[in-house]
Structure 1
């Protein structure tokens, strides 16, 4: 083998993992060598490290039998392919965990039971100090593209900024059903009395009320499900998670249907009074 020095055998598997993780270029280098042979200069250009750094890295890889040299190029061995694939899986799982970490305590308990592959398919949009309306903007973009919308606990903080879009969808004939608490309906009826009255006259717009809803919201759109996470005291939208995963769709349809069966038609005059 053509490598500089002797690389001692590490005592534990975690030592090899730590070696790969300590520098950002090592995993991408090994992964790149699983696709086709590459020269040292090509790997330097790919990863942005110096030639001397890449020479040491390739020497470490050769010592571990992860790669072999073919002429002036290097290629991964089956051992190297196995390590590269495993590290990619670890990185993907950590990326998935990181995007859910900040919203985990707001999510429905059932989400934690979904397969990890389902989590990876989720788009997580979190409110940030410099962009508090990011989740609402994401939800509005989904709303604009749907031809049907059913929602459980849409909440004022989510729907008030989207009222123009909602009104346009109703005018366009999109079927919409909202199930929320009487207090939320009261807000819209009192804040936008004329507009609310006109919307409620449309046959494709159904508003129902329910006194005991879950702490989260569910939006069923054409091909995606949106889960809304609210601050319990203020009702502020903290995050919106949307996905087209079949398992989430099945769960959301079941939850929506169970509350839909117990919901009552809105009686505007009684609520305002």
Structure 2
């Protein structure tokens, strides 16, 4: 990695609030300092540096962002969103090292993340079961393992109520479901509102319950969910639906 490029990038990140303060049009230094939350001296130095770099242009009525500056600001803000999302998802990312998730952490800046708590061992299961129970329209997803008895019981109840389901499973997950819930699965497979698919090596597990996205992180030894991210962000849900649809396209439908 180019050391000079890293130093330059850090400087741009530090001055991004000043650049953003000028985005609405020509802005004087007093207003820039107020909007950016910096001193007048800092605003003075930053506007000079950003003007020299061609990110700001100075006119009689103040500073404005150039096209180059607008492009840089877009990338800076995208980077910041990605970092915020990555920090929030850290417990999940510790268990889900999937490129598709790593490159889309910016979609999870407002996600809720739960981790396993020895003092409340069923906390995550109860949360998932609650989300499943509140589902009224559809459930779609990709999974490499099957849920706990509590989650599976709620899932079957919801499916029997008429909620549409499309699920992509690995062979191992499907065999696990059959082993534990053979009778129930056979009943649900016969319903016109369900569709099950088998696929090899899905990129990650995702589940969409109506408008809620769940990203589980499993313990490598026990297979239990030890971290979970949930969000209703429309862009995150749309991304997860794309992951599901891509897996479904290369999967084999059962029944």
**Residue 5 of structure 2 is aligned to residue 17 of structure 1:** no
- Give unmatched runs, 5+ long, in structure 1: 1-10, 264-273
> How far 1:30 moved relative to its partner?
0.7
Matches within 5 A, 1:1-273: 12-21=4-13, 23=14, 26-95=15-84, 98=87, 102-104=91-93, 106-107=95-96, 112=99, 116=103, 120-121=106-107, 126-128=113-115, 133=123, 137=127, 140-141=130-131, 144-149=134-139, 152=143, 155-157=146-148, 160-161=150-151, 163-164=153-154, 167-168=157-158, 170-171=160-161, 173-176=162-165, 180=173, 203=191, 217=205, 219=207, 228-237=216-225, 238-240=227-229, 243-245=237-239, 247-254=242-249, 257-258=251-252, 260-261=253-254
Larger Rg: 1
- Give unmatched runs, 5+ long, in structure 2: 231-235
Is residue 69–residue 75 contact of structure 1 (8 Å, CA) maintained in 2? yes
Paired positions, count: 234
- Output the CA distance in 2 between the equivalents of 1:84 and 1:216: 31
- Output the CA distance in 1 between the equivalents of 2:195 and 2:151: 18
Q: What's the secondary structure of 1:127's corresponding residue? A: strand
- Output the CA distance in 1 between the equivalents of 2:25 and 2:128: 39
> How far 1:66 moved relative to its partner?
2.8
> How far 1:74 moved relative to its partner?
1.6
CA RMSD of aligned residues (A): 4.9
Is residue 153–residue 218 contact of structure 1 (8 Å, CA) maintained in 2? no
Is residue 30–residue 80 contact of structure 1 (8 Å, CA) maintained in 2? yes
TM-score (norm 2): 0.61
- Output the CA distance in 2 between the equivalents of 1:119 and 1:218: 14
Is residue 138–residue 165 contact of structure 2 (8 Å, CA) maintained in 1? yes
